[in-house]
Amino acid sequence: MTVHGSGPQDAGREDHPPERDAPVVELRGAGKSYGNIRALHGVDLAVRPGRVTCVLGDNGAGKSTLIKIISGLHRHTEGELLVDGVPVRFGSPREALDLGIATVYQDLATVPLMPVWRNFFLGSETTRGRWPLRRLDIEGMKRTADRELRSMGIVLDDLEQPVGTLSGGQRQCVAIARAVHFGARVLILDEPTAALGVKQSGVVLKYIAAARERGLGVVFITHNPHHAYLVGDHFSVLRLGTLELAADRAEVTLQELTHHMAGGAELAALRHELAQVHGVDVEELPEA
Ligand SMILES: Nc1ncnc2c1ncn2[C@@H]1O[C@H](COP(=O)(O)OP(=O)(O)OP(=O)(O)O)[C@@H](O)[C@H]1O
Ligand SMILES: [Mg+2]
């Protein structure tokens, strides 16, 4: 499927000459309706190698819908999804994975009772020897998992420990290292820091940066503008299913990003309303 060149789909793409950081994945005017509910509409997004694209937005803004389209879980109902410049429609997450698009979900990524190294190879176990003597290459898998985790800067005392005994942050990191090892070009992380404390969030953000250094295109979904701003190269803010803001890092400050996330206009209106209410000191309220 990684077709380059001048197919009919490439017609009219002169404005996008092949460049080193050409998008691996791109949405153009993409949208998704669930029956009568239009969850996403007219969204443009580019995921480039070696860059972190942050997708922000309030509950129900359409963040998960957006990544489900890219990861092959749902099909878009309007616009286009392109991989390496070629329009695609994924029938399953497997098809997306085959093109190097890996998704790490908050909880579903690992099996708690299995050792770390087994989780690392889950579904892709390596074997040694020939049938009928073929068996799991346990030592080989342990060595590889250890090497890959260390190369991402993750040092665990014991790879035999069940994944369930790791912290939430460490579990995310194992899933990230696994995606990198199995050749992901695009890494999608759905709210990886949502359930984590400050320190653990920092650890996950560090590995997001490590994945970017490896040249992966990272899509980082979050509610938290501070987390986004620490690692993001590009910011897309969704509101009620459409893009409210799309800006490169140089074009937006953390304050502006926070303002958009907080629903700046709504906050200003709320401030005005509260000013009429006796007993509320609007001077004490945060600036909208
Ligand atoms: N399978 C579905 N069927 C019908 N409506 C859906 C479905 N999935 C999502 N929606 C609706 O689409 C909208 C966007 O939902 P989505 O899950 O993409 O938001 P989100 O930004 O990920 O929110 P959250 O921060 O709560 O995870 C919501 O109004 C939601 O109710
Ligand atoms: Mg969601």
Q: Is residue 224 pLDDT above 50, yes or no? A: yes
Cβ(112) to ligand 1 under 6 A? no
Residue 106 maps to a domain:
yes
- Give residue 107's pLDDT band: very low, low, confident or very high (50, 70, 90): low
Cα angle: 22, vertex 243, 32; to 5 degrees: 90
Q: Give the pTM.
A: 0.80
Q: Which domain holds residue 109?
A: 19-252
179, 274: one domain: no
Residue 34 maps to a domain:
yes
Average pLDDT over residues 203-223: 90
- Give residue 173's pLDDT band: very low, low, confident or very high (50, 70, 90): confident
Residue-wise pLDDT tens digits, 115-146: 888 888 877 788 888 888 788 888 999 999 99
Residue 3 maps to a domain:
no
190, 288: one domain: no
Q: Which residue, judged by its Cα, is nearest atom 31 of ligand 1?
A: 60
Residue-wise pLDDT tens digits, 34-61: 999 999 999 999 999 999 999 999 888 9
Residue 17 in contact with residue 7, Cβ under 8 Å? no
Residue 13 maps to a domain:
no
Residue 138 maps to a domain:
yes
Mutate to test the pocket of ligand 1, among 65, 67, 220, 242 (most ligand atoms within 8 A of CB): 65
How many CB atoms are closer than 10 A to CB 101? 26
Work out the percent of the chain whose per-residue pLDDT is above 70: 85
Mutate to test the pocket of ligand 1, among 40, 45, 55, 63 (most ligand atoms within 8 A of CB): 63
Q: Which residue, judged by its Cα, is nearest atom 4 of ligand 1?
A: 34
Residue 156 maps to a domain:
yes
Q: Is residue 13 pLDDT above 80, yes or no? A: no
107, 123: one domain: yes
Distance of alpha carbon 199 from the chain centroid? 20
